[in-house]
Structures are given as C-alpha cells and as structure tokens.
Amino acid sequence: MATMQSLEVMRSSASTAAPPSVADATPVAKLIDVSKCIGCKACQAACMEWNDLRDEVGYNVGVYDNPSDLTENSWTLMRFSEVEEPDGHLEWLIRKDGCMHCADPGCLKACPAPGAIVQYSNGIVDFVSDNCIGCGYCVKGCPFNIPRISKADHKAHKCTLCSDRVAVGQIPACAKACPTQAITFGTKEDRIEWAEARIADLKERGYDQAGLYDPPGVGGTHVMYVLKHADRPEIYANLPKDPKISGLVEAWKGWPKPVALAGIGLTALIGLVHYVRNGPNRVGEEDEEKGNRVLGQGE
C-alpha cells in the first residue's frame, strides 16, 4: 500500500516530529457480528479479489480454517472454534481474524522505519511498503499477532481496512461481500450504536454475556466484534481478553531509549571532560630511562 492522498496521516512510525494535521476526520470502524457469521468465507474471497492476493494452495489441517493461518497473501481468515460448553452443548464459533486497527498500534510503536506504518486520522493503520525495511519489528509489537513478512518482497503485510476504498467513499471489500451483514462498516459511533442494538437482541435471546469487543488496553480498535460470549473472548480462537502493547515492547521502544542514548552521550562527555581537565597521560623521559634499563638488564 502507499499512503492515501485523500486520507490524512495522523501518526507515523519512527517519526519524532508530528505530521501536518488540520482535518478532523471522523473515526471509522468495521463491526464484525460473530453471531451473524455463517462462515461462508466470502470476505476472504473478496479480500483476495480486491487486493489482488493469491495465496498458495495449502493443505487441509483437519479443521475448516483455510488457509490455516494468516499469511502475507491472506490478510483475513475465518477461524473456526468448536467449544464444548459445561452443559454439554457444542458451540461452533467463527471469527473473522485480521488486523484490528488499534487506536494505539503496537506495530507502529515498534517500527524503526520512518513512515513505514501510518495511522490515518480516521483511525486506519496502514503499512507503507515503500518505506518498509523488512525488519519484522511490527510482528514483535503487535498484540494480536497479525503482520506477516513476505518471502517474496521481504516486507510486512496485513489488512489495510481497504484504505484505498475508504479514501474514495467505498466500504471495505469484505463488508461489501458479506451476505448476512455480519460485517458492516461506517463511523465508529454508528457501529457502536448498531452493536448495542444487536447485543440487546442477543441478551433477549438468552446470551446474557453478549457484548462488544473494543479493547480499551489498546485505546479501542477500529475493527470491533459483537461476541455472544464477550466475557470469554479467548474461546474465539484465542482472541486476547485484555490486549495491550507488551511491557517488553514498551521498555524496548519507550522512555529507556532516549535515556540510553543520553547515557552513551554522557559516557563520551565524561571522557572529554577528563581529557580537558587532566590532559594526556604521557610517558616521561625518566620512565623511558627506567624502562630501558630493565630491558637492558634482561639482554
């Protein structure tokens, strides 16, 4: 992907200066209502079609997941979970996995290449391949294990939330293709309102733990789920309960970094001050005489 001219960059990776920002775009969101999903994979096919992605034909690993994991060519994936409930009945849960477009993106925090990961003012987090150096730090930064490094171009890839479509007023390809309106797209405010109506409906039908997945640990996300069992997101193919940027990533990319640089600078400065105060440590003529006498004795 390249940056979208008609979308304004709000945050840019490895950039200490703030990008120009005047437009106040409305945050957008994709809502995935898991309770409405029939597992048809039309979203996967639409994603391939729109983004011109063709993954390798793989192998059946014994479940419906196909391919078995996200790849650089499969930016979205239906994950099927068979969950046996305590009362004995079986829940067949299907979750469309892909980039969550965090408000506080771990990938962007970890990225060392200026402008390789950007966040538009509407909330979409996009990888700008032209600036990507293929280091794989985004993989370490992401709390959802989403980015994949391509073996073909050695760059990171993931769902763009169809930023190219959104930029021209279209909805993402997956939402367009979904036959049951399990995937919808609009302003985040509207999607939350829609989700609340759905949740009320689900609760009425006995799913009293139904709820919205918009995890606050990453500042909320621009891809949200309606879950029947929002109290146990982990049963949906290990959707993290309280995702946040790992403390290790914060330590790696946060305040210790400038402190470490200052420490390096200080070490060099101490050297400079020492030299200027004390001068060079020279060998005197007396030392040479004594040294040579010892050498002469040995000979």
Residue ranges that bind other proteins, judged by CB under 8 A: 14-16, 112-114, 131, 133-137, 139-140, 142, 145, 149, 151, 154, 246, 248-249, 251-252, 256-258, 260-261, 263-264, 267-268, 271, 274-275, 278, 280-285, 287-292, 294-295, 297-299
Give per-residue burial for 120-147: e unless 16+ CB within 10 Å, then b.
Answer: bbbbbbbbbeebbeebebbbbbbbbebb
- One-character DSSP codes across 99-161: ---BSS-HHHHH--STTSEEEETTS-EEE-GGG-----HHHHH-TT---EE-TTT--EE---T
CB of 219 to other proteins, least distance (A): 20
93: Cα separation from own chain's centroid: 24
Q: How far is the CB of 20 from other proteins (least distance, A)?
A: 17
Give the shortest CB-295-to-other proteins separation in angstroms. 5
Could you tell me if 95 and 34 are in contact, meaning their C-beta atoms sit under 8 angstroms apart? yes
Read off the tokens for 27. Answer: 């945050």
Quick one: 74 or 184, whose CB is closer to other proteins?
74
Work out how close the CB of 76 gets to other proteins at its nearest, in angstroms, rounded to a whole number: 20
Minimum distance from residue 258 beta carbon to other proteins (Å): 7
Closest distance of CB 204 from other proteins, Å: 40
- For other proteins, the closer CB: 49 or 288: 288
Query: Rounded to whole angstroms, how far apart are CA atoms 129 and 114?
Result: 11
Pick 216 or 256: Cβ nearer other proteins: 256
Cis omega (within 30 of 0) on the bond before 67?
Answer: yes
Closest CB to other proteins among residues 179, 291: 291
Q: Between residues 52 and 299, which has the closer beta carbon with respect to other proteins?
A: 299
* Block residue for tokens 């999607």: 191
- Measured CA to CA, the distance from residue 273 to residue 280 in angstroms comes to 12
Q: Which is nearer to other proteins, 5 or 297 (CB)?
A: 297
CB of 236 to other proteins, least distance (A): 19
Residue 9 or residue 178: which is nearer to other proteins going by CB? Answer: 9
Q: Tokens representing 41?
A: 């994979």
Three-point CA angle 3, 4, 9, nearest 5°: 70
Q: Which is nearer to other proteins, 5 or 255 (CB)?
A: 255
Q: How far is CA 125 from CA 14, 36, 218, 230, 250, in A?
A: 14, 26, 13, 25, 19
- In this structure, what token pair is assigned to residue 136? 């794989």
Report the nearest approach of other proteins to the CB of residue 116 (Å).
8
Question: Cβ distance 132 to 116 under 8 Å?
Answer: yes
